[in-house]
Chains A and B, each alone.
Chain A
Amino acid sequence: MKVRVKFGKDGSARFAGHLDVMRYFQKALRRAEVPMVYTHGFSPHPVMSFAQPLGLGLSSEGEYFDLEVSESLTTPEEVARLQAQMAEGFSVTDWRLLPEKSQPAMAVIAAADYAVSIREGHEKPAGIFRDLPGAIARFRAQEKCLVTRETKKNTIETDLLPLIYEMRPDEADPETVFLRVSAGSVDNVRPEVVMEAFWRFAGCEPAPFDFAVRRLELYARAEDGRFVTLADMGVPVTEPLSDAPTEGEA
Chain B
Amino acid sequence: MRQLALSDEILLSVDKPTRYTGGEFNSRMDAQEAFDTFCTTFAMCFPDVYEIGMSNLGIQIIYDLFNRRPGTFCDRVFSPWTDLDPLMRQHHIPLFGLESQRPVKDFDFLGISLGYEMCYTNILQVLDLSDIPFHAEDRTWEHPIVIGGGSCTYNPEPIAPFFDLFYIGEGETQYWPLMDLYEQCREEGLSRREFLKKAGNLPGMYAPQFYTPVYHEDGTLADFVAEEGMPARIRKEIVHDVSDTFYPEAPIVPTMRVTQDRVVLEIMRGCIRGCRFCQAGMIYRPVRERSVEFLKDKAVKMLKNTGNEEITLSSLSSSDYRHLKELIEYLIDTFHGKGGVNISLPSLRIDAFSLDVMSRVQDIKKSSLTFAPEAGTQRLRDVINKGITEEDILEGSGLAFEGGWNRVKLYFMLGLPTETEEDMRGIAELSERIAERYYEIPKEKRAGKVQITASSSFFIPKPFTPFQWARMFPREEYLARARVVNQHMKEMKNKKSLSYQWHDADTTILEGVFARGDRRIAAVIEEAYRRGCFYDAWTETFHFDVWMQCFADCGLDPDFYIMRERPEDELFPWDFIDIGVNKRFLLREWHNAREGRVTPNCRAKCQGCGAACFGEGVCVEGSR
A-side interface residues toward B, CB under 8 Å? 10-13, 15-17, 19-20, 23-24, 26-31, 36, 38, 42-44, 46, 56-57, 85-89, 119, 121, 208-209, 212
Contacts and interface: CB of A to CB of B under 8 A. Distances in A.
A23 B306 CA distance: 12
Nearest to A21: B255
B8 A20 contact: no
Contact of B253 (A16, A27, A89): A27
B9 A208 contact: yes
A28 B25 contact: yes
Contact of B339 (A16, A38, A57, A86): A38
Interface string B244-257: 00000000010111
B309 interface: yes
Interface of B: 1-2, 4, 7-9, 11-12, 17-18, 21-25, 27, 29, 253, 255-257, 261, 304-309, 339-340, 342, 362-363, 365-366
B256 to A, nearest CB: 5
A149 B2 CA distance: 37
Given A31-B307, A57-B11, 18 more contacts: A11-B4, A11-B23, A17-B18, A26-B307, A27-B306, A27-B308, A31-B304, A31-B305, A31-B306, A38-B340, A56-B17, A87-B24, A87-B27, A87-B253, A88-B22, A88-B23, A88-B24, A121-B7
12 contacts: A11-B1, A15-B18, A20-B256, A28-B25, A30-B309, A85-B307, A86-B25, A87-B24, A88-B1, A88-B22, A119-B8, A209-B12
Contact of B363 (A12, A17, A42): A42
B258 to A, nearest CB: 11
Contact of B23 (A46, A89, A121, A209): A89
Nearest to B308: A27
A10 B1 contact: yes
Contacts of B1: 10-12, 88-89
B86 to A, nearest CB: 18
Contacts of A15: 11-12, 17-18, 21
A212 B11 CA distance: 14
Nearest to B256: A20
Nearest to B31: A88
Given A20-B255, A27-B307, A43 B8 contact: no
A61 to B, nearest CB: 14
Given A12-B2, A87-B23, A87-B24, A44 B339 contact: yes
A29 B307 contact: yes
Nearest to A41: B363
B17 A87 contact: no
A12 B12 contact: no
B22 A12 contact: yes
A87 B255 contact: yes
